[in-house]
Amino acid sequence: MRSYLRLEIVRGLRNPAGLVLLVLFPLGLYLLGTEVLDVVPPGLADGFAARTMVSMATYGALGGALFIVGGAIALERGKGWPAQLAVTPLPAHGYVTAKLVAGAIWVLPGILVVLAAGALVSGVRLPPATWPLLVALIWVGVLPFAALGIAIGYALRGQAANLAMMTVYFGLSVLGGLWLPVEAMPAGMRAVAEYSPAYLAGSPAWRALDGVPPTAASIAALAGWTLLFAALALWRYRRAL
């Protein structure tokens, strides 16, 4: 599995267009919201730049994991790559694990660039230890979406897969408070939002801004989504062989 993981990482890093998209997309959204439009929701002015920084870093990372992993799988299926892997000693769980880890590594530059923009452009000031903590917390939140990308990539083909990923991505991002803070949502919608995978991906980093650790319930829920999507990805991969 180590050799295949190394292959996946190198292949992703050799795709300059994909890397530029992973970096520039969340960075552009962050700068647009904080430096150009400067749209601050009522009652949320305090710490808006820091919160938006975390939200856009999370938003870009989740999208990168979903589309880069899912898109790569769609191409691989068209070239018959799964059939070739089926005759190798690589087990199904090894394939899914390698895709998850590689997807998380690919999105790391985008996370770092958005956080750097928050510090250097927007003047976000946080305790030194908080910055690496934010990177780690956002990075962990990527895993369920990388698994979901694998599942969709093996469940659908071509434009159907892209449409499904786009629908899931924007829907979960809006519901999860990455565009509009859940505090500004109606009470009923907020109750659902707080258990959505996108909210659970961003919540630990948002709490870290206030120096508060993530709750045990949120960690358990995020782990649950990761295991659920990973199991779904494993099932779809085996069905595709």
Kindly write down the DSSP assignment for every residue of 155-191, as one continuous string: H--HHHHHHHHHHHHHHHHHHTTSSS-GGGS-HHHHH
CA triple 102-97-59, angle to 5 deg = 50
Domain carrying residue 185: 2-240
- Give mean pLDDT, residues 17-31: 74
CA distance 196 to 206: 15
What pLDDT score was predicted for residue 1? 61
pLDDT-derived band at 200, boundaries 50, 70, 90: very high
Buried b (16+ CB within 10 A) or exposed e, 139-171: bbbbbbbbbbbbbbbbbbeeeebbebbeebbee
Q: For residue 145, is pLDDT > 50?
A: yes
CA triple 207-227-173, angle to 5 deg = 50
- The number of folded domains in the chain is 1
CA distance 61 to 208: 18
pLDDT, one tens digit per residue, over 150-198 is 889 888 877 788 889 889 999 999 999 888 788 778 888 888 898 999 9
Residue 227: which H helix or E strand, with range? Answer: helix 216-240
Does the predicted model carry a pTM greater than 0.75?
yes
Q: What is the average pLDDT value for the chain, to the nearest integer?
A: 82
